[in-house]
């Protein structure tokens, strides 16, 4: 019963937003995100500290707070558009995506090599799943197994509709599945800016020492796959912009630990 009660808002959200036109969904999502920005002061303070580091010492407090507001608006839009998505809207969304520097992806695919996409928490990365499917890429991603199984199943269903094959962190065979996908010339999308396990690789990120996941670099190195950074941004109005970075060459080093450390720093 507890799982059902927690799942009801997802069903309501999908039904409500799914019935609206795209412009209304985008507007309501942005407004909901803006409203949420005033609710938890501690969260806002943490985001502001992050943005001060990203923007640099020359940024004014107004610029920092504007950036924080933008993060909340983006998050609200993400949820609204996720609730809104239906397979029948696939072509509509694909047509709204601006693709930048996709040559490395096409070259890797043509060569039959696996691709590891290093993805940040920006915009709506699931939109990139539609583009990967449009390019004929067999895309896999990793997701946390949430305490509520009904919500986990909902996310699995949504991401499958975006063309993303999900392997859960609770799956004991997840590593072998990811390796197999890459060795077969498929693609793997891994979030690269959040060290969930606390066992990541030390890097310097925007001038501060932190840790980042080892997965993107480690799997690319192990399977001789192409390591490519990619981000899916929201446009100010309708649509998205997906920017592909140049492939990251993992530096040669005497030990694997050093190769992974140097590679993770390049991702950062």
pLDDT, one tens digit per residue, over 160-178 is 999 999 999 889 999 999 9
What are the φ and ψ backbone dihedral angles of 234, each rounded to 5 degrees? -80, 140
For residue 22, the model assigns a pLDDT of 95
Please say if the pLDDT value at position 193 is more than 90. no
- Indicate whether 7 pLDDT > 90: no
Query: Mean pLDDT throughout 133-138?
Result: 94
pTM (two decimals): 0.91
pLDDT > 80? residue 3: no
State the pLDDT at residue 268: 85
- Residue 131 pLDDT > 80: yes
Residues 6 or more apart whose CB falls under 8 angstroms from that of 91 comprise none
Q: How confident is the model at residue 147 (pLDDT cuts 50, 70, 90)?
A: confident
Q: Are both 66 and 128 inside the same structural domain?
A: no
In a domain, 203, yes or no: yes
Looking at every residue in the chain, the average pLDDT score rounds to 92
Taking residues 59-71, what's their average pLDDT? 94
How far apart (Å, rounded) are the C-alpha atoms in residues 137 and 204? 32
| DSSP line for 228-266 | EEEEEEEPSSSSEEEEEPPPBPPPP-SSHHHHHHHHHHH
Residue 244 clears pLDDT 80, i.e. is over it: yes
Of 84, 107, 141, which marks where a domain is finished?
A: 84
Q: Does a structural domain hold residue 92?
A: no
Tell whether 69 and 185 lie within a shared domain. Answer: no
Question: Among the three residues 63, 84, 105, which one is the final residue of a domain in this structure?
Answer: 84
Q: How far apart are CA 105 and CA 198, in angstroms?
A: 30
Residue 62 lies inside a defined structural domain of this protein = yes
Asked if 60 and 131 sit in the same domain, the reply is: no
Q: Quick one: what percent of the chain has pLDDT higher than 70?
A: 100
pLDDT of residue 253: 86
Average pLDDT for 195-201:
82
Judge contact between 218 and 192, C-beta under 8 A: no
Average pLDDT over residues 87-104: 95
Same domain, 175 and 244: yes
Same domain, 213 and 166: yes
The total number of structural domains that make up the chain: 2
List alpha helices for the chain, DSSP H. Answer: 2-18, 22-36, 41-55, 61-84, 90-94, 103-110, 125-134, 149-161, 174-183, 215-223, 256-267
Half-sphere exposure at residue 188, Cβ-oriented, CA atoms within 13 angstroms: 31
Residues 70 and 178 in one domain: no
Query: Would you give the end-to-end CA distance of the chain in angstroms?
Result: 43
Of 57, 84, 111, the last residue of a domain is 84
Note whether residue 68 is domain-resident.
Answer: yes
Residue at 91 is within a domain: no
Q: Which residues are paired to 168 by β-bridges?
A: 143
Are 176 and 57 part of one and the same domain?
no
Residue 158 lies in domain: 97-268
| Residue 89 belongs to some domain of the structure | no
Spatial contact of 207 and 53, defined as CB atoms under 8 Å apart: yes
Same domain, 140 and 200: yes
- CA–CA gap between residue 91 and residue 85 (Å, rounded): 11
């Amino acid at each position: 019963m507890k799982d059902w009660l927690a799942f009801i808002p997802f069903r309501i959200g999908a039904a409500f937003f799914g019935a609206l036109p795209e412009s209304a969904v985008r507007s309501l999502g942005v407004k909901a995100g803006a409203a949420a920005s005033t609710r938890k002061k501690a969260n806002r303070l943490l985001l502001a500290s992050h943005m001060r580091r990203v923007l640099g010492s020359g940024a004014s407090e107004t610029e920092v707070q504007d950036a924080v507001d933008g993060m909340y608006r983006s998050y609200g839009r993400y949820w609204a558009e996720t609730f809104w998505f239906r397979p029948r809207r696939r072509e509509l969304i694909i047509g709204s995506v601006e693709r930048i520097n996709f040559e490395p992806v096409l070259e890797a695919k043509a060569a039959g090599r696996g691709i590891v996409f290093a993805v940040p928490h920006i915009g709506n990365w699931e939109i990139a799943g539609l583009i990967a499917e449009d390019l004929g890429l067999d895309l896999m991603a990793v997701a946390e197994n949430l305490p509520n199984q009904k919500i986990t199943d909902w996310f699995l269903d949504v991401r499958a509709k975006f063309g993303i094959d999900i392997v859960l962190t609770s799956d004991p065979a997840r590593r072998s599945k990811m390796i197999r996908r890459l060795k077969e010339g498929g693609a793997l999308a891994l979030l690269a800016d959040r060290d969930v396990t606390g066992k990541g690789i030390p890097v310097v990120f925007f001038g501060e020492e932190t840790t980042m996941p080892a997965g993107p670099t480690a799997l690319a190195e192990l399977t001789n796959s192409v390591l490519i950074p990619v981000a899916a941004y929201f446009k100010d109005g309708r649509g998205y912009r997906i920017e592909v970075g140049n492939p990251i060459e993992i530096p040669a080093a005497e030990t694997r630990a050093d190769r992974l450390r140097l590679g993770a720093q390049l991702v950062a």
